[in-house]
Amino acid sequence: MKKEKITIDYDQEADVLYLSFGEPKKAITEELGDIGVRIDERNNEVIGLTVINFLKNFKNNHEPIEIQI
């Protein structure tokens, strides 16, 4: 498995968490509720996630989050 850099950024004002895998690339986003899955159109690889209302939805939830992609 190739090791990639993971970049995590949080916008406190908007309550949005951004995760990017590897170098930034142009992508399409498939929305799954409050989670956006960023997909590289060239090879259908997941290259990032955007989590809207991050603290509102997950602050007191200590259960794993599973996303079917």
pLDDT tens readout for residues 3-56 = 678 999 999 999 999 999 988 788 999 999 899 999 999 999 999 999 999 998
pTM: 0.77
Task: Specify burial of residue 48 (Cβ count, 10 A radius: 0-12, 13-18, 19+).
Answer: buried
**Helices and strands counted in the chain (H then E):** 1, 5
Give the alpha-carbon dihedral of 60, 58, 24, 69, to 10 degrees. Answer: 130
pLDDT confidence of residue 29? 95
pLDDT confidence of residue 25? 83
